[in-house]
Every structure is written in structure tokens, then in C-alpha cells.
Amino acid sequence: MTTVNLTMMSGGVQMNVVPNEFTLGFDMRITPTTNLEEFEKTLLQWCKEVGISMNMLRTISCAVFKSKFFPLRCASCSSL
């Protein structure tokens, strides 16, 4: 299951003033079987449709744990 959680929001300098820039940060946990290029294209398309720009920062980590997905997870992370 892929999850997306809003973890950070910032923008503006005072109340009742529209900021010229607003930043949102999301923590995305993507399944090992997700095609990352397609996932990123989908996100960029959604942003384009609503008229906002997006910069992707990829931080990839593999957690060591006992799971049937562990070999697949490590293989997907090492290829990036």
C-alpha cells in the first residue's frame, strides 16, 4: 500500500497576507512494486492540472525487517 502524509507546511510572514510562496512537505511510502517514473509523472500531471509547480526530493531508505517483501524492497532501493 502506498501512503502519502502531509508532514510540513510553511509560507507567509504574518496573518491576513497572501504569501507569494507556500511550501508543503509530504512523506511518501511507496510499495516496492510501484513504478517510480509513472508515480512521479502522475504527481507532476496533478500539479499541472491545478496550476502549481513541484520539486521532487528523493530520499530513499530501506528498513531492515523481517517481511516477505524484504528482498524485493532491497532490490528496488539498490537500483535507484
Asked whether the predicted pLDDT for residue 79 surpasses 70, the reply is: no
Q: Are 3 and 31 in contact (CB under 8 A)?
A: no
C-beta separation of 56 from 38 below 8 A: no
> What's the average model confidence in pLDDT over 7-33?
87
pLDDT digits (tens, 9 = 90+) for 43-70: 889 888 988 887 777 665 555 445 555 5
Helix (H) or strand (E) holding 47: helix 36-50
Residue 56 amino acid letter: M
In angstroms, the CA 67 to CA 65 distance is 6
1-26: average pLDDT: 87
> Is the confidence at residue 21, as pLDDT, over 60?
yes
